[in-house]
Amino acid sequence: LHPNDGKLALAHIAVGYIALFLGAIAGLLQAFVRSGTLELPAGIGYYQLLTAHGVLLALVFTTFFIIGFLYASMSRTTGDLTPFAKKAGWIGFWLMTIGTAITTVMILLNKATVLYTFYAPLKASPWFYIGLTLVVVGSWVSGAGMFSQYAVWKKKNEGKPSPLLSFMAVATMILWIIATLGVAVTVLFQFIPWSFGLVDKINVLLSRTLFWYFGHPLVYFWLLPAYMCWYVIIPKIIGGKIFSDSLARLAFVLFVLFSIPVGFHHQILESGITPFWKFLQIVLTFMVIVPSLMTAFALFATFEISGREKGASGLFGWVKKLPWTDVRFFAPFMGMLVFIPGGAGGIINASNQMNQVVHNTLWVTGHFHLTVATTVALTFFGISYWLVPHLTGRTLTPRLNKLGIIQTVFWCIGMFLMSGAMHTVGLFGAPRRTAYTTYGDHPQALEWMSYQTIMAVGGAILFVAILMILYIVINLAVAAPKGTEEFPVGEVHEDAEKTPLLLENWKIWIGLSVVLIVIAYTVPVIDIIENAPSSPGFKFW
């Protein structure tokens, strides 16, 4: 990468890792509070910590890391960033950083204890929402930079499909921009006027609906960069080839189509939305599982074909040919493996009857610690092992590689304990998002306590793993020996079909995505607005 482009990517990644550190401290403390082993010093609240944990890890770490990685991928595959793309990248970075700082300060001042989902009726200081707006607007400016970079490449290379990694970066940003429209509407038209006291009522259901319109595609905004690594980077690291360029593009297109009109699967138990519309959005939820199944298929195919080309025989002989001691492969691979139970849990959540059992229990917390906090996080760590030294002109030494493997193992053990206990105790009915409580020494609640202790043990192991990844990343950024580290980009297998240009026709895909959104949301949103309760505190906007 051109050093200037590298700086832009690195700045994003650095803020991401600072957020990871702060958010992890909050996570460690809250695991101890929940198990009853720690009482927070006066002034700090459990829900305040929970908000900091969710916002810093789920929103800040991910968004900064992703935008840094996407910019790096654009520069690597479409050439040096144009002056416009670079400028947009930096303006976006500063807007996001200032917004994050404002938001974090409000949380630390206990003026924004509204959890990372921040929908009404919880109310924060207006500055929290203004901070969030800056983050979102900043990300749009960065998105504009990437789109222009892509458009310039397309103009110079008419009739050719764009490089796969840049296509995926563009698809991810398209998804993000369509999704964040929902959060922009609720923040600008509902929360800011309400929190400034300009209006005294808010339509709670509308705020939740607009949040989840954004909240579900948000999880795919986290997942797709991990898929970029799995589809394009992993084949190169294992010495194989990309199974199919068209399949990979189709999977990303399907995410653009189906990941948005599905927010109601977070609201299955919510009154005020007619069952028909919930049903429709659940059907669409099952559609969005398809591109993940396609991804699983493509990954198995990549591993198997590459193993056989290296002489593997038998049904599973190829497993032995994978580079198990290379952390650039091992960390993302463990992420894939964990996505099998993580994804299965998602399918359980999306099933109406089973959702009645798991909704608002610790099961759901277990689900997203497998998906975003393991599958995605381990893949992002896996990317950092080569991207950070690539950007800083250093190398991943065998010692750091080994430490990375140990880090991955620690992460998996910690998460097995923590998420396993969460899933299990969730099925016994333990609610999520509660501080330590024995519910008046109710026997049922006392039964949950041993699981919460296991959660705390898992959380402590995870915290050690966080310190390890920070040690490795800081070393790779400033101390590892100077040298060149490869930015691995796989080539497509010669047996793959030619990529149809239709897959790159964004007008069709964005158009279809809008049509699906309009079908899935228009009537229920009109219902929500028309039937808004007139009791104090509730209103149309």
Which of 91, 137, 283, 289 touches ligand HAS (CB under 6 A)? 289
* 328 is annotated as an active-site residue: no
By the rule CB under 6 A, 228 interacts with ligand HAS: no
Which of 276, 300, 324, 439 touches ligand HAS (CB under 6 A)? 300
By the rule CB under 6 A, 237 interacts with ligand HAS: no
Q: How far is CA 134 from CA 197, 365, 397, in A?
A: 21, 28, 39
**The one segment of 175-183, 282-290, 435-443, 495-503 that binds ligand HAS by CB under 6 A:** 282-290
Q: How far is CA 66 from CA 13, 71, 279, 508, in A?
A: 8, 9, 32, 26
Segment 112 to 141, residues that bind ligand HAS, using CB under 6 A:
117
Beta bridge pairs of residue 12 = none
Q: Which positions ≥6 away from 483 have C-beta within 8 Å? A: 389, 393, 394, 395
Q: From CA 321, how far away is CA 521, in angstroms rounded?
A: 48
Which of 188, 319, 502, 515 touches ligand HAS (CB under 6 A)? 319
Of 71, 368, 410, 521, which is the active-site residue? 368
**The one segment of 100-108, 289-297, 407-415, 458-466 that binds ligand HAS by CB under 6 A:** 289-297
Segment 371 to 400, residues that bind ligand HAS, using CB under 6 A:
371-372, 376
By the rule CB under 6 A, 359 interacts with ligand HAS: yes
Secondary structure letter of residue 200 according to DSSP = S
Cβ of residue 360: shortest distance to ligand HAS, in angstroms?
6
Structure tokens at 139: 């990300």
* 369 is annotated as an active-site residue: yes
By the rule CB under 6 A, 306 interacts with ligand HAS: no
Structure tokens at 73: 């991928």
Q: Which positions ≥6 away from 297 have C-beta within 8 Å? A: none
* Phi, psi angles (nearest 5°) of residue 482: -65, 150
* Phi, psi angles (nearest 5°) of residue 21: -65, -50
**The one segment of 145-153, 179-187, 272-280, 336-344 that binds ligand HAS by CB under 6 A:** 336-344
The interaxial angle of helices 62-78 and 83-108, nearest 10 deg, is 170
Using CB under 6 A, count the residues that bind ligand HAS: 33
* Phi, psi angles (nearest 5°) of residue 80: -50, 145
Which of 16, 217, 346, 458 touches ligand HAS (CB under 6 A)? 346
Cβ of residue 59: shortest distance to ligand HAS, in angstroms?
11
Q: From CA 374, how far away is CA 342, in angstroms rounded?
A: 9
Name residue 38's amino acid: L
Helix intervals (H) in 112-202: 126-156, 164-185, 192-195
By the rule CB under 6 A, 234 interacts with ligand HAS: no
By the rule CB under 6 A, 287 interacts with ligand HAS: no
Give the CA radius of gyration of the chain. 23
Cβ of residue 490: shortest distance to ligand HAS, in angstroms?
15
Beta bridge pairs of residue 394 = 482
* 220 is annotated as an active-site residue: yes
- Cis peptide upstream of residue 121 (ω within 30 degrees of 0): yes
Q: How far is CA 503 from CA 221, 244, 490, 540, in A?
A: 19, 13, 20, 40
By the rule CB under 6 A, 172 interacts with ligand HAS: no
* 423 is annotated as an active-site residue: no
* 265 is annotated as an active-site residue: no
Q: In the complex with ligand HAS, which residue's Cβ is closer, 89 or 307?
A: 307
Cβ of residue 408: shortest distance to ligand HAS, in angstroms?
14
Of 17, 69, 116, 220, which is the active-site residue? 220
By the rule CB under 6 A, 369 interacts with ligand HAS: no
Q: For residues 493 and 231, is the Cβ–Cβ distance under 8 A?
A: no
Which of 350, 415, 465, 472 touches ligand HAS (CB under 6 A)? 350
Binding site for ligand HAS (CB under 6 A): 117, 219, 222-223, 265-266, 285, 288-289, 292-293, 295-296, 299-300, 319, 336-337, 339-340, 343, 346-347, 349-350, 355, 359, 364, 367-368, 371-372, 376
Which residues are designated catalytic? 216, 220, 367-369, 432-433
